Homo-oligomer: A and B are copies of this chain.
């Protein structure tokens, strides 16, 4: 069994350990929630101060040109492209994940309709992050289509057929951490004549995404989780070059125009991915996002996303080993903790979810609160209260290899063990407010 000392040794030998110094980590805290809101990059404060004092305060309107504000969506897009296997000038930063999904799903539907008007299914996962389903529901209603949801990936072969217009999946499931096979599912969708739209919210910056290798059609993702861009940071959008000029996405704001400063009355979409920009970008939030992305790119000389993914797997494997051997079935005292994420590393993102066995079915929220009181920050996602055995409450822990180490994993498990063994979670206050995923 791995000891605390073993973990210290692994940290010392970890070639990525120095990346931790790029972040301001909260004192006295073990932060395992970077899959919800990433930590503060060390450069962000000074950078945003510069934007506020010099670029906004002093240079004002000139800064659209002199400080490169106008270029930010493309410049940061090009940096994110390197993290997700996209090419130069194929990604822009804009708006929110929900809005970018609206753009690409509308485009995918239009392309499908032009080619095969009879296809009327949009297929997604029932446990997909709800905003994706809400946006799909809106577009399905607008276009007389149907959003059909699968519960398990085994159902997909029966759904990928001549009725399918668009397969829309979040690569890493936000609840379970299940990692879908982007390449295989995209190929299956294509073989059936359909398109594949991928949400990378829990994979960009967490695993080695390869949108072009997978030949995906569209992808969008989040700036404030593994990219550490700050609360509500703008999101990003990638469109396969074969589609990008096929369609005017419906959110046709002026900065997606071919010549925004000619102020023409008719919309002429910009060439390439720039047409997926809509209105004026929120510069303060966008500038902070660039700091997060730059911190991620600092891993490139150390092996980049491949090295980060390798460490991420090592961290999650260790977490599972320690939880099971110290709090679960293999422990001297079974504390009722069970793995709710895939056991196979290749099917798992950079998070591990746990559930609690009966009679602790209902205790998840209180256990997470008790852990937070001890400075271990994970989060809680409610199950289905009417059938907790099948859809249990989830204790969710994200392992960001940029700033989490092996000893951190050991300490987190030890805290979990103490919370459960002591029963102190029974005192944790119930507070129905939950935090943003």
Contact = CB atoms under 8 A, between A and B. Distances in A.
Interface string A89-117: 00000011111001000000000000000
Contacts of A230: 52, 56, 283-284
B26 A57 contact: yes
A352 to B, nearest CB: 17
A81 to B, nearest CB: 21
Interface string A49-60: 101110111111
Contacts of A284: 48, 230-232, 282, 284-285, 288
B48 A52 contact: yes
A98 B53 contact: no
Interface in A250-272: 250-254, 257, 260-267
Contact of A251 (B40, B102, B265): B102
A13 to B, nearest CB: 29
A65 interface: yes
A137 B256 CA distance: 14
B33 A60 contact: yes
Contacts of A282: 96, 231-234, 282, 284-285
Given A27-B58, A231-B284, A282-B282, 15 more contacts: A26-B58, A26-B59, A33-B60, A36-B61, A37-B60, A40-B56, A97-B280, A126-B265, A129-B254, A129-B263, A134-B253, A135-B252, A230-B284, A231-B280, A231-B282
Interface of A: 24, 26-27, 29, 31, 33, 36-37, 39-40, 44-45, 48-49, 51-53, 55-65, 69-70, 95-99, 102, 126, 129-131, 133-135, 137-139, 142, 149, 224, 230-235, 248, 250-254, 257, 260-267, 278-286, 288, 372, 377, 379, 381-382, 433-436
